[in-house]
Amino acid sequence: MSSVAVSGKASRRLHRAWLVAGVTFLVLLASAAFRSSVGLLIVPFEEDFGWSRSAISLAVSVNLVFYGVTAPFAAALMERFGIRNIAALALSLIALGTGLTLVMNAAWQLVLLWGVIVGLGTGSTALVFGALVANRWFTKNRGLVMGILGAAWATGSLVFLPLLSNIINNFGWRYASLGIALMCLALIPIVWIVIRDRPSDIGLRPFGSSEVVTTEELTTNTTHSALSAARTALSTLAFAAKTRAFWLLAGTFFICGWTTNGIISTHFVPAAHDHGMGATTAAGLLAIVGIFDIIGTLGSGWLTDRVNPRILLGIYYGFRGVALIALPVLLGPNIDPPIVVVMILFGLDWVATVPPTATLCREIYGSERGPIIFGWVFAAHMIGAAFAASASSVIREQFGDYSTAWFLAGALALIAAVAAFMIPRRSFEPAVT
């Protein structure tokens, strides 16, 4: 039977690409579940083990660094060993790291489990995983699929919060960790059955494609990518580091990570606890962020095609800065309308910075270098988050509350708003040193 006939039959039923995308969505959600638990477990760890908030936050920081640094090389790993293999390995690492917390008894073990092992696992299931699936399996609706997978990656880390908080309050933190580990383990056989590296592996074309790609072409491209992807990533970083635009893009995204994953995801629930708010109530506020993040991300993608991305970034960071500065003034034991407004603002620009930043990387550096450079800019995002996770805990221990940490984060966001307007339109010239 010809390949055209096979493709014709496939087009009359649900294309395998949608199943692959669905399982990818679940993998990203499983990774997000761990990220949800981090902020909720700080206070229980303090109470259960007597560890300082700085010691616990160190594990979070190590996780974020490994997460960010692994992401640029995740594509190379998937090219070399296959998407399915790396996704299964990543889920195994997350399950191992979270599962072994049940028997840990020292802070260094938390750094090893949360920081290193889970950091490698979550870094391998970052946005690049969703991008590879969307690019290989979809020609039509590729942007829609990327938006859906991006929502799973970002929003998933917030919408799990009320559920996990209830589990922790009613049964203890060990049940939450065990639940995450079991969810990851349950997904491994599903990944193995459904996901394939490319449509051609099972005799299909990408969804919406009318072109035939031969196995020989795929093998050649894969071999080339496997041998050169890591080298290309490093050489591209060396090139980008000589340009002014890279430091502005990486610097603003460093602040983006500081003001989202670093302080809000990690420290909002403990900060609300300091103000007398229950963990489940605080988790509900973060869930509001997750809901409005979907609107903000999709809206930002639409706006990025129509408005100068620099203007969008300036607006996003500006609103975020104002919201962060207002937060310590508005936090209290109860949910009042002003705090809800602030959380909605957080949600609308939580991941809204991603489409304009990725677009600027492509616009400035071209379609070949741009995505790789965005990978390194994303690494800066997670490194910024790591700095914030540790710095905010130190500030809290020194001053007795998080007010200074919120004000610092707000000031940094306002600086990023100004810096966004300074990003040049094209920057291949070496940076001024």
Model pLDDT for residues 58-102, shown as the tens digit of each residue: 888 898 888 888 877 776 677 778 888 989 999 999 999 999 999
Q: Is residue 428 part of a domain?
A: no
Could you tell me the pLDDT band of residue 426, with boundaries at 50, 70 and 90?
Answer: low
Residues 125 and 227 in one domain: yes
- The H-or-E segment that residue 208 falls in is none
The percentage of the chain sitting over the pLDDT mark of 70, rounded to a whole number, equals 87
CA–CA separation, 399 and 408 (whole Å)? 13
CA–CA separation, 198 and 218 (whole Å)? 9
Residues 201 and 246 in one domain: no
pLDDT (average), residues 230-254:
91
Read off φ and ψ for residue 138, nearest 5 degrees: -130, 135
Residues 225 and 256 in one domain: no
Could you tell me the pLDDT band of residue 210, with boundaries at 50, 70 and 90?
Answer: low
Domain end (from 215, 232, 249)? 232
Which pLDDT score, from 0 to 100, does residue 187 have?
93
How many separate domains does the chain show? Answer: 2
Residues 303 and 368 in one domain: yes
Q: Is residue 97 part of a domain?
A: yes
Could you tell me the pLDDT band of residue 224, with boundaries at 50, 70 and 90?
Answer: very low
How many contiguous H segments (helices) and E segments (strands) does the chain have? Answer: 18, 0
Which pLDDT score, from 0 to 100, does residue 12 have?
56
Which pLDDT score, from 0 to 100, does residue 9 have?
47
Q: Is residue 4 part of a domain?
A: no
Q: Is residue 430 part of a domain?
A: no
Q: Is 241 a residue whose pLDDT tops 90? A: yes
Lowest-pLDDT choice from 93-97, 143-147, 333-337, 421-425: 143-147
With 0-12 CB in 10 A as exposed, 13-18 as middle and 19+ as buried, what is 368? exposed
Q: Is residue 432 part of a domain?
A: no
CA 228, chain centre distance (Å): 25
Average pLDDT, the chain: 84
Which pLDDT score, from 0 to 100, does residue 320 have?
96
pLDDT (average), residues 352-371:
83
Any idea what the CATH number is for the domain that residue 387 is in? 1.20.1250.20
Residues 364 and 289 in one domain: yes
Q: Any idea what the Cα angle at residue 163 is, between residues 160 and 166, rounded to 5°?
A: 145
Which pLDDT score, from 0 to 100, does residue 343 have?
92
Q: Is residue 429 part of a domain?
A: no
Which pLDDT score, from 0 to 100, does residue 200 have?
81
Partnered with residue 207 across adjacent β-strands are 138
CA–CA separation, 118 and 41 (whole Å)? 15
Q: Is 172 a residue whose pLDDT tops 50? A: yes
Partnered with residue 138 across adjacent β-strands are 207
Q: Is 170 a residue whose pLDDT tops 60? A: yes
Q: How many CB atoms lie within 10 A of CB 281?
A: 17
Domain end (from 179, 213, 232)? 232
**369 vs 210, more confident:** 369
Q: Are 244 and 424 in contact (CB under 8 A)?
A: yes
Could you tell me the pLDDT band of residue 219, with boundaries at 50, 70 and 90?
Answer: very low
Residues 246 and 227 in one domain: no
Residues 219 and 313 in one domain: no
Q: pLDDT tens across 2-46, in order?
A: 444 444 444 457 888 889 989 998 888 888 778 778 888 888 998
The maximal CA–CA distance of the chain, rounded, in angstroms, is: 73
Q: pLDDT tens across 366-406, in order?
A: 867 887 788 889 889 989 999 999 999 999 999 999 999 99
Q: Are 45 and 360 in contact (CB under 8 A)?
A: no
Q: Is residue 88 part of a domain?
A: yes
CA–CA separation, 326 and 182 (whole Å)? 39
Residue 174 one-letter amino acid: R
Taking each helix axis from N to C terminus, what angle separates 354-399 and 215-240, rounded to the nearest 10 degrees? 50
**DSSP 8-class letter at 235:** H
Residues 226 and 343 in one domain: no
Residues 410 and 385 in one domain: yes
Q: Is 147 a residue whose pLDDT tops 50? A: yes
The percentage of the chain sitting over the pLDDT mark of 90, rounded to a whole number, equals 39
CA 340, chain centre distance (Å): 24
Which pLDDT score, from 0 to 100, does residue 404 have?
96
Q: Domain of 220?
A: 14-232
Which pLDDT score, from 0 to 100, does residue 2 have?
45
Q: Is 433 a residue whose pLDDT tops 50? A: no
Q: Is residue 2 part of a domain?
A: no
Q: H helices within 195-278, ranges in order?
A: 215-240, 244-257, 266-274
CA–CA separation, 91 and 331 (whole Å)? 36
Residues 216 and 253 in one domain: no
Could you tell me the pLDDT band of residue 259, with boundaries at 50, 70 and 90?
Answer: very high
Q: pLDDT tens across 270-282, in order?
A: 999 899 998 889 8
Domain end (from 165, 198, 232)? 232
CA–CA separation, 269 and 286 (whole Å)? 9
Lowest-pLDDT choice from 120-129, 196-205, 217-226: 217-226
Local structure of 329: helix, strand or coil? helix
Q: How many CB atoms lie within 10 A of CB 13?
A: 7
Residues 268 and 208 in one domain: no
CA 186, chain centre distance (Å): 22
Which pLDDT score, from 0 to 100, does residue 8 have?
45
How far is the CA of 191 from the CAs of 24, 120, 176, 259, in angstroms?
A: 8, 18, 23, 33
Residues 177 and 248 in one domain: no
